[in-house]
Structure 1
Amino acid sequence: MRDETCRVCGQPLSRPSRTGRRPVYCSRACQARAYRARRGPVRPVEVPESSRRAERRTEIAQVVWRIAAEQGLHAVSMRSVAAAAGVSVRVVQYHFGTKHQLLVDSLELLHRTNEQLAAGRIQADLTDPKALLRAILDEFLPLDAHRRLSLRALAGYYTRSLTDPALAAVFLSGDRSLEDFVALVLRYAEEQGELRPGVHVTSTADVLVSAVAGLALDVVHGTRSARDVREIIARQLDQLFRDATSFPAKPATRR
């Protein structure tokens, strides 16, 4: 004989329905509880945290930078990036969608990373404008592993951006921001009477930034040393400031 009480809560059961089937649960709630018990505990859906997703995107972007720096931007593909990152192609697609978006987003992340690292190294102390300018211009030089990798990757990106509007937009998003910052420091030094007479602040800022960017590529190519370039920068700053410091007469040599 079938039980006369609910299998879940033990409450008395009602009479059989018109179909003749005797109920085994006293209510839909008890029926649902029994169903959940048979299926086992409900596991919450794991939703990846936004911070973890950002970390994974950065990890994949770092692989893009490395491939671009070591093999050239043409070697970057969804498959090569996935293999080097130790993930599946679907994971790369999940985070970036297409190869082109992977390139664009990785360039944006590289710019953002460089800005964050530079902000941590540069002490924005206007009490010594010349030292501040040296620190700003040093950021262009491959003085550590990341800056060397970044310069090599950016060289490939820049060439590609000449025919790719989306990549060009990343380069142009901060157009003249660095030159304006250098001009701001020079203008402050001028107001404090530290610059030599006749210095044109805006054009001087343009020349300094353009010159160090080109010299940095010489260091990457190995035709100049970082030490030589830093001496060149120091001499240029000495010509701008009143408190010029003497340097050895030995000219910087090209290799």
Structure 2
Amino acid sequence: MREIAVEAGVSLRVVQYHFDSKHDLLVSALRMLHEENDRRARARVEALRSPDDPRALLRAVLEEFLPLDEQRRTALRVFAAYYARSLTDPELAAVFLHDEQPLEELVAAVLRGAREAGRAAPDIDPSREADLLVSGITGLGMDVVHTRRTPASVSEVVDYHLERLLPA
């Protein structure tokens, strides 16, 4: 907590006033990281040139989980560290593993809308495809962090699956 006070340019007492414990600070920091990443992702998705194109929209959403710039690379590393700690910390796990699945629901909604508009393969199950896309991109992002894959190779995998789901 001393290091955080120094980094923030405030006294240790100020940090202790706002956070009851180091654990409370860690949980709050994780929540703030989620909120900041959500804000950045929404801004990038809203900046799309063709927001009505389901493939472009899904690509933009999925790319948010790839370390394509320093901010996302750092965020992914921090999330990985928090995730590892959450395996033994129920309060951190609650931040990661809550009942809502907004990303999966968003991806499924895009796929469902594309299917209803005749722009997606008619036999897809949007919810199951969303689960696979989201979990897949998370793992692929970690592969990029570990330099097991390149962003370009991951982009090819994403294109492959989006073409399968949303044929041109």
Give TM-score scaled by structure 2 length. Answer: 0.91
2:43 aligns with 120
Using the alignment, how far apart are the partners of 1:167 and 1:235 within structure 2?
35
Q: How many residues align?
A: 166
Q: CA deviation at 1:173?
A: 3.6
2:61 aligns with 136
Matches within 5 A, 1:91-240: 91-123=14-46, 127-173=52-98, 175-240=100-165
Say which structure, 1 or 2, has more relative contact order (CA 8 Å, 6+ apart): 2
Contact 1:137 1:212 in 2 (8 A): yes
Q: Deviations over 1:232-254 (max 9, x none)?
A: 101110111221xxxxxxxxxxx
Contact 1:126 1:185 in 2 (8 A): no
SS of the aligned residue for 1:106 comes to helix
Alpha-carbon RMSD across the aligned residues, in angstroms, is 1.6
SS of the aligned residue for 1:199 comes to coil
Using the alignment, how far apart are the partners of 2:100 and 2:74 within structure 1?
22
Using the alignment, how far apart are the partners of 2:72 and 2:63 within structure 1?
10
Using the alignment, how far apart are the partners of 2:98 and 2:36 within structure 1?
15
Q: 1:174 to 1:110 in 2, by over 3 A?
A: farther
Give TM-score scaled by structure 1 length. Answer: 0.62
SS of the aligned residue for 1:122 comes to helix
Percent identity among equivalent residues?
Answer: 51
* Larger Cα-atom Rg: 1
222-231 vs 101-110, which moves further:
222-231
| Structure 2 stretches lacking a partner, 5+ long | none
Using the alignment, how far apart are the partners of 1:119 and 1:201 within structure 2?
21
Q: CA deviation at 1:85?
A: 3.3
Contact 1:79 1:89 in 2 (8 A): yes
Q: Hey, which of these two has a bigger chunk of helix by percent?
A: 2
Amino acid at match of 1:90: R
Q: CA deviation at 1:226?
A: 1.3
Q: CA deviation at 1:160?
A: 1.0
